[in-house]
Structure 1
Amino acid sequence: MPIPAFPTMPESPTSPANPPTPPGSPLNVAAAASPVSALLRGSVLLLVFLALQLVFFSSLLSFPSPRFLPAPGNINTTWPNGLPADAGACGAGLVYVYDLPPEFNHDLVDDCESLWPWYSFCPYLDHGGFGQRAATLPVFLDVTPNTSLPNWYNTDQFQLEVIVHRRLLSHPCRTTDPARAAAFYVPFYAGLDVGSHLWGDNATVADRDRAGLRLLRWLRNQTSFRNSGGWDHFITLGRITWDFRRYGDDGWGTRFVLTPGMENVTRLAIEADPLDAMDVAVPYPTGFHPRAARDVRAWQRHVLALRRRTLFGFAGAPRAGFRDDFRDVLLEECEDAGRARCRSVDCTGTRCTDNGAAVLKLFLGTKFCLQPRGDSFTRRSLFDCMVAGAVPVLFWRQTAYDQYRWYLPARSRGEEREWSVFIDPRELRVGNVSVREVLEGFSQQRVRRMRERVVEMIPRIVYASSPDGLGGGMADALDVALDGVLKRFRERRRRMAREAP
């Protein structure tokens, strides 16, 4: 788990050296001693022992637990002059990671027991935000091959901030010299912060806004932010953008994105506002975090080789409080198609969030997966489906085509049809089409080509567990995001240079 590097704490803390034994100390005296001197020596020894114990326990308190440490590996990737050890591989530019006060990230993780009103959030913050290893959870053991199991975790969908921070702290293109940076990363865990205030009985609007306002006050005092006004800065939002866009004083969420100071900052969010140019949609974290390119290729071979006997599947829960909810339409479609053609997983309660294996097992056995909107246009299920090698069936363009443009090919209808199916929800509601008829209209060869295209895209929509990324020339979701951010900032610099008098 990543934390900012505190001024008094080295990036790779080591145990303090044992103090040398002072000459003439009781440990070095060979001669016999009198009872009084023996008593004195005993008192001194006791005091020394207690002092050492105090130092030891203080060190434990001052350093975070392993859950909060940066990823092992290339932790110290920079020379004293701030240049990466492999600067030649960073032609697109270097990234500076702000050392924020701990209240904006580390303290939130440290308080994981109270982040969520219903249960402890701590297990989901294990392993740098990936959560518990699937190998320790019996429900996963019959779902994935043993060779792929080390790449799977029970990951919460709102962990983007923690995952990205952890990776950037050990990124080979990180610089410790802001003067050399082409991009500045602000590791504020805004999603964890606001999430702890959304459902509390006594939470107020001021509670939701407080950390964001304090963060922006801190940023305005930083030379790099003042010099650019934030246009070369980026941040990750671990919740959907609408949780940070409260209009008025009595709505949902916080006003963080709308607060003066954020207008020029690029926001990488799991769901973005397509009308806001500063929002960039990046994939939801799934449970698949491969260590290297070879792990991805092994998984790709596995999902393509599976015999999929079910035509389509749906993971979701009916929502009784929503009139004419579209999910009810899809559940009826599934029931009408029969169990031989459609299967579903009822996600009522926390079944699907606590047990990602149930959703994974469903999608590994289906050729297509239905992806309606949820509380917002996109559900994590879209990416779970694609990682499992199933073809997503979409009903709103904003679910994928209008958002994840750095990741999902959607420059033309032809590109969209290579890896997805679109059905007009109005036509489905009135009975002019059925899901079964549409999907049975594709030939086996066409379905195979679509699935191959989906599987080809898997590396770009997952977050590697290795601090070095996937390697082997294979880009993961963070590589794509960082490349896009640096390209965006480079184009801004060129535009500003052209417009300069």
Structure 2
Amino acid sequence: MSEHSSTSDLHSLRKPKNISPRNTLYYSTRVFFYKCSLLLLTLLFQAVILDFIFRAPSKSVSSLRHDLQVKASQLESQKCEYGMVYVYELPPMFNQELLDNCRDLDPWHSRCNAISNHGLGPKVTGLSGVPENLVSAWYWTDMFAGEVIYHARILKHKCRTTEPGLATAFYIPFYAGLAVAKYLFTNYTAKQRDWHCERLLNWVQDQPPWRRSNGSDHFIMLGRMTWDFRRSRDEDWGSSFVHMPLMKRVLRLGVERDPWDQLEISVPYPTGFHPKSKSEIDQWMNFVHNHKRTSLFAFVGAKRNVKGDFRTILQDQCYNESSSCRVVDCSGTRCYDGTSEILEAFLASDFCLQPRGDAFTRRSTFDCMLAGSIPVFFWKRSIYRQYEWFLGNKSEKFSVFIDRKDVRKGMSIRKVLEGYSRDEVRKMREKIISLIPKFVYSISDEEGSPKDGFDLAIDGVLKRFLEQKGKKNGKDEI
């Protein structure tokens, strides 16, 4: 059939030239059945809708609310460069009940003050040598309160989501350090030291996000040094939490990491300064920069009754160099709940001596740097491969290293420190002051405030998991 004839046939169907009664009846019947079919379909559709509405109204409203929450979370996630974090709501025994039973967390002292104010501790009173308008930013913060601080902060984090399906990372707010500390210093069994940790892992392994990833996108904050969680044998120190099979993929933030463990990230020890605004941070940095320093170096600590105690050597050198060195003797419990003498000593000194503590790192290092004093290390592991997210990886720009072996042989610390020119000291101090916003823990949600230690830690975790996800999907870049 030609194109012309086909077109003519169609035209003739649209406009019949001879309309007979028989044709009229045929078309009328077709129109009638067409309209009836449309009406029937419409009625059936309405019946289905009405049945859905009246038979399951609660499901419809709940579904709508859920969809709105998901949309809101998706809009919020657009502000989060590296993704969002989901926070587990753990059974109270793993966090809140530990706080409620704070008097039983330590065999010798009540821990209630230490963990008060969401981990910040009591507000400081009687703090001398600090600008009056900044005293309100100071607390007697315990060095092991990080778990409580991180939990309180992450619940208000702008990149927190309540939808597990939108999360890049999953935070486990277990206060492992508080749970374990009670059993560290007295004659408890290995089973008792692991009790909370084992039950936490039994709980979390049943959660859907964990089952999807086996914990590879989960992280936790450990408020004590990693060595408190690395028991290899029952008769050894601490808990075996880190070595438990279910922990082998979990990322761990802690105040001191094992430098050879790629799943551990060291975060700053909490100091007592918790600024509420960018203005308070700037004021403190200016105050530290301009403060008059009357001593070459300072030592804060206590002797230990062990043979060859290195702290005793440092303290003795300081006392012998009393015109150059300032000592704060923390024997007994003198510094346990905080003293303004520590801050005063660091503010007045160019350098501060930082021997290893119970482990290789010390809270004192951050107290020292907060005051603009230059830390002097005697163990490379006190700073090497620690805190890179916050201090960078060039510790020589803000610190001094003296080999402890040379000190034991009689090397004069004063003479070593006097060898640095005023310009070298100034440059190191300026570097330290520039780092202060990165290692303090603020209590500010003020727009435009610099990212503090907590912000940098969470950004680092999210970025790491996002990159990890990209590599798993076969991508080279995120």
- Normalising by structure 2, we get a TM-score of 0.83
Work out the CA distance in 2 between the residues paired with 1:279 and 1:331. Answer: 33
How many residues are paired up? 409
Work out whether residues 216 and 251 of structure 2, in 8 Å CA contact, stay in contact via their aligned partners in 1. Answer: yes
Structure 2 SS opposite 1:154 = coil
SS for the counterpart of 1:331 is: helix
Q: Indicate conservation of the 8 Å contact 2:383/2:395, yes or no.
A: no
Match of 1:80 among 54, 58, 69: 69
In structure 2, do the counterparts of structure 1 residues 455 and 79 end up closer, same or farther at CA, with 3 Å as the change threshold?
farther
Q: How is 1:432-443 mapped onto 2 (pairs within 5 angstroms)?
A: 433-443=411-421
Q: Which residue of the partner structure matches residue 329 of structure 2?
A: 346
Q: CA deviation at 1:485?
A: 0.6
Following superposition, the deviation at residue 406 of structure 1 comes to 1.2
The equivalent residue for 1:449 is 427
Whole-angstrom distance in 1 between the partners of 2:139 and 2:356:
25
Once the 2 structures are TM-superposed, how far is the Cα of residue 84 of structure 1 from its aligned partner?
Answer: 7.1
Q: Which residue of 2 aligns with 1:119?
A: 109
Q: Which letter maps to 1:328?
A: T
1:116 Cα shift? 1.4
Structure 2 match to 1:188: 174
**1:281-327 CA-partner distances (Å, limit 9, x unpaired):** 0010110111122111100001111100000001010101x211111
Look up the equivalent residue of 1:398 and give its one-letter code.
Answer: R
How do 1:382-397 and structure 2 match up within 5 A? 382-397=365-380
Counterpart of 1:359? 342
Whichever residue aligns with residue 340 of structure 1, its letter is S
State the alpha-carbon separation in 2 of the partners of residues 400 and 96 from structure 1: 31
Aligned-partner residue type, residue 166 of structure 1: A
Per the alignment, residue 154 of structure 1 pairs with: 140
Gap change, CA 1:180 and 1:447, over 3 Å in 2: same
Letter matched to residue 114 of structure 1: D
Provide, for residues 422-478 of structure 1, a one-character-per-residue CA deviation record: whole Å limited to 9, x for no partner.
Answer: 1111122112x3211111111112211111110110011111123x2x642511001
- Native 8 Å contact 1:85 1:172 kept in 2: no
Q: Given that residues 84 and 174 in structure 1 are in contact (C-alpha distance below 8 angstroms), is that contact kept between their aligned partners in structure 2?
A: no
Answer whether contact 1:373 1:396 (CA < 8 A) is retained: yes
Name segments (4+ residues, structure 1) moved above 6 Å: none
Equivalent residue in structure 2 for 1:330, among 283, 299, 314? 314
Residue of structure 2 equivalent to 1:461: 439
Q: Relative to 1, partners in 2 of residues 1:356 and 1:226: Cα closer, same or farther, differing over 3 Å?
A: farther
Distance in 2, matches of 1:79 and 1:167, equals 25
User: Which structure 2 residue ranges, 5 or more long, are not aligned?
Assistant: 1-66
Could you tell me how far apart the structure 2 residues matched to 1:84 and 1:125 are? 35
Distance of 2:472 and 2:341 partners within structure 1: 51
Deviations 1:72-115 (A, max 9, x none): xxxxxx97226177433212100000000000000000001111
Q: Structure 1 residue 125: deviation in Å?
A: 1.6
* Corresponding position of 1:378: 361
Contact 2:369–2:436 (Cα < 8 Å) also in 1? yes
Structure 2 match to 1:418: 397
| RMSD after superposition | 1.7
With over 3 angstroms needed to count, the CA separation of the structure-2 counterparts of 1:371 and 1:471, relative to structure 1, is farther
- Determine if the alignment matches structure 1 residue 98 to structure 2 residue 88: yes
CA contact (8 A) 1:96 1:183 kept: yes
Equivalence for 1:108: 98
CA distance, structure 2, for counterparts of residue 330 and residue 183 of structure 1: 44
Unmatched 5+ stretches in structure 1: 1-77
Inter-partner Cα distance in structure 2 for 1:341 and 1:289: 31
Report the counterpart of residue 122 of structure 2 in structure 1. Answer: 132
Q: Could you tell me which residue of structure 2 aligns to residue 493 of structure 1?
A: 469
Q: Give, in angstroms, the shift of residue 372 of structure 1.
A: 0.6
Is residue 409 of structure 2 the alignment partner of residue 430 of structure 1? yes
CA distance in 1: counterparts of 2:475 and 2:278, whole angstroms = 43
**CA–CA separation in structure 2 for the residues paired with 1:302 and 1:84:** 43
Paired residue for 1:89, among 79, 89, 110? 79
CA distance in 2, matches of 1:79, 1:269: 37
* Match of residue 162, structure 2, among 170, 176, 179: 176
Q: CA deviation at 1:181?
A: 0.2
- What whole-Å deviation, never above 9, does each CA across 1:149-189 have from its counterpart, x for those lacking one? 11110000000100000000011110000000001000000
Please state if 1:278 is matched with 2:263.
yes
Aligned to 2:24: none
State the SS of the aligned residue for 1:288.
coil
Q: Is the 8 A contact 2:268 2:366 kept in 1?
A: yes
1:499 Cα shift?
8.6
Higher percent of residues as helix: 2
Q: What does residue 457 of structure 2 align with?
A: 481
Aligned partners of 1:460 and 1:476 also within 8 Å = yes
Aligned AA (1:451) = R
Query: Sequence identity of aligned pairs in percent?
Result: 46
> 1:457 and 1:426 mapped to 2: Cα distance?
30
